[in-house]
Structure formats: C-alpha cells, structure tokens
Amino acid sequence: MVFVLRETKTARRCRRAQCAWVLIRCNVRGLVATSVGMDLSEILERNRKRALAAAAELEERFSKRRHQQRRRVSPLAFDMWSPSTESPATHLKHRYKSNWFLDFCMENPLDGHFKKLPALNNMLSSFSGVVQRPTSYCHYDYAYRKRTVFFTSLTAFRPILPCPGHKCGMLLGGDASHSSRVADSTQSQRNSIPLPLLDELLTAWTQKTKTRAEHYLLIDAFAGFGSVRACVERGWPGVRLFCNDIVDRVGVNFTLDLSVDTDQRLQALLVLAVKKFWHHMRMDNGVLQCLSDNKIAVLVHCSTPCETYSTQALAVHRFADGSPRSKQAADADNMNTALVQFFTNAQ
C-alpha cells in the first residue's frame, strides 16, 4: 500500500497565485527603480528574470514535496522481501508500533554473557518497544533457581523478578536454599522452560494483538525438548505452532540449521510456517504484507544455544568482557546478531 499525493485544483490555484504574486512584487520593485532613473527596458528584463527564477524555485519546492509523498510507504506495507527502493533504516523508528503483526522473544541465562551482545544492547537503546525481562524459574514451580532473561517486543510481558533479589516461595518459606540444582537435572529438564512462564508470555502476545488479529502463529525456532509445544498443547488451542530444531525430535516440523545464513533461513522458516497452515495464501507483496493482509499475528520464539555464554564456559569460550575467545563463541555471536538484525529490519 503506497500513498500518493495528487495536487488538487485548490493546491494548483494556490501555486499559480503564488507565482502571480511574485510577478506583482517584481513589478512593484520595477516602479520603484523607475523613480530613480533606470531605463524601462532594463527594469522589465530584470523583473522578467526575477519572476522566472522565483517561479522555478516554487515549482521545484512543490515537485520535491510531491516526490516525497509519492515515496512515503506505510510501515505495514514495508517488507524486506518485497521490491522497494526504500532503505530499511528509513523506517526503523516506525517498526515497533503496536499495530505490527510480527513479534519476537529471545531467551538465554541471565548470569551468562548473552546480555552483553552488542547487537542486543543497540536494539534496546534504539527502540522503546523492545524490553529486557529477567526472571528465575524457581518462581514458577521449579526446584532450582535458574535465572534467565528475555529480550522481546512484548512490553506487557512482566515475569516475576529473579531470585534472590525477589525471593521465591521456597526462600520465603524459611528454606536456606533451593531444594535442587540445575547440574543435578537431566538434559531435557535443564533445557526446559516452566509452562506457567510460557503462559505469561503467550498471554502478553495474544493480549497485544487481540484487537486486530484473526489468526495466531507461534514459531519455535529452537524447539529443543518441546517446552513451547507442551504449553500450546496444554492450554492454547487457538494458536498454530510450527517447530524447528537442528535435531529431528517428536513434534519438530522442520530441521533447519539457523547457525549459517541465519537471516535467509529464518525468512524461509517464516514462509514455510505460513504455507503449512495457509497454503492458499499468496505472497506477491512479501510475507510480512501477507501477515498484515490476512491478520495473522506471529510470535517467533528463540531460545538460542547457551553453551558459549554460560559462566562455566568462560575460560574456554570467552574473555572477561564477553567477547569471543573460541570459534564456537564467534559463530554463536554471529548467529544471534543476525537474529537481532532480522527482527530489527522486520519490525
């Protein structure tokens, strides 16, 4: 949808009146010049040049205004997969408005180095619609604490602040410590997310989009052991779920490795998810415009691998300031930076 400004009859008359006023003003100056003894032919020639120059200036001003209005694109119409001469940076300030159809959530342990990623901090400082939400799993019925942080476009998502700054039920009940440790858990348990916490996330998403969305699509880009799938199957029948993971597990729809060509593959993942549930929908103007036209609210959930960001891996993968020490850490930074850039450009 492109807005084009057409010059109305009234605007045309006003422009012509401005040009006529320039001519009158130049003639008045000419009469003044006559009184001081200038030759009449010189006066007329000088006035003619002044009038033409002023009229040309006015015409150029109106032409620029029409050109700018012709190039104005609605934020909903802008799509990085549709042809456009506009630079993405031109519209970034519009992209976190509440009427957009693509939201995201990135999650990683709070005490690791993920939150030091420059791309994340640049996004937080540049956009008021992106927030950082820390919490801990012990607030959501887990026996161990496990502090985590979310970076998301869902500003209404407000989980309980992390323990021990805000004590959980176990500590408030008189226990000196939590009854279990993350290290004592199985791999699937260590990589799970509490279902009540995911319920809060999905509630914030559906509440944000309820006045304009008719369909809900949740893309779990790093599905892991299926916490998001379990949450949706338990209590969100109106949400369509598309799961991706590098490992082909139960409930995984696609096994796409997002660590390489991240932005292109995430674009492809979004198209695949839409086509899975609405295969008849056309995307002539790009997938983002398709979401808007068909009122499909999308949430992309990214619980990205945390191996290189954990405090235990500091000596192997990172320096004290969080910068990568190993190739694996550099690859993780590149992937997460590409994810952030994807969400920045898409918003």
**Any idea where the domains of the chain sit in the sequence?**
9-70, 88-346
Adjacent-strand bridge partners of 136? 147
Residue 216, CA distances (Å) to 231, 241, 336 in order: 15, 9, 25
pLDDT of residue 313: 79
> Residue 17 burial (CB < 10 Å; 0-12/13-18/19+)?
exposed
Cβ atoms of 238 and 297 within 8 Å: the answer is no
Instruction: Establish how many alpha carbons lie within 13 A of residue 312's alpha carbon, considering only the half-sphere containing its beta carbon.
Output: 5
The radius of gyration of the chain's CA atoms, rounded to the nearest angstrom, is 29
Neighbours of 156 (CB within 10 A): 12
| Tens-binned pLDDT, residue by residue, of the chain (347 aa) | 333 334 444 445 545 545 444 444 444 444 434 334 556 566 667 766 776 776 677 666 656 555 444 333 333 333 333 333 333 333 344 444 444 789 999 999 999 999 999 999 999 988 888 999 999 999 999 999 999 999 999 999 999 999 999 999 999 988 888 989 888 889 889 899 999 999 999 999 999 999 999 999 999 999 999 999 999 999 999 999 999 999 999 999 999 999 999 999 999 999 999 999 999 998 988 888 899 999 999 999 999 999 999 888 778 999 888 899 999 999 999 999 999 999 988 76
What predicted TM-score, i.e. pTM, was given to this entire model? 0.72
Residue 230, CA distances (Å) to 79, 220, 276 in order: 32, 12, 20
Residues near 175 by Cβ (< 8 Å), separated by ≥ 6? Answer: none
> Residue 125 burial (CB < 10 Å; 0-12/13-18/19+)?
exposed
Q: Residue 125 corresponds to which tokens in the numbers above?
A: 């400082």
Measured at the CA of 163, the angle between CA 128 and CA 314, to 5 degrees, comes to: 80
Q: Residue 335 corresponds to which tokens in the numbers above?
A: 């992937």
| Burial annotation 92-112 (CB, 10 A radius, 16+ → b, else e) | eeebbeeebbbbbbbbbbbbb
Amino acid at 85: T
pLDDT of residue 176: 83
pLDDT of residue 90: 36
Q: Residue 309 corresponds to which tokens in the numbers above?
A: 């960001």
pLDDT of residue 54: 67
Neighbours of 14 (CB within 10 A): 13
Sign of torsion, CA 134 140 145 148? negative
Residue 297, CA distances (Å) to 51, 77, 102, 306 in order: 56, 15, 6, 28
Query: Greatest CA span in the chain, whole angstroms?
Result: 104
pLDDT of residue 135: 98
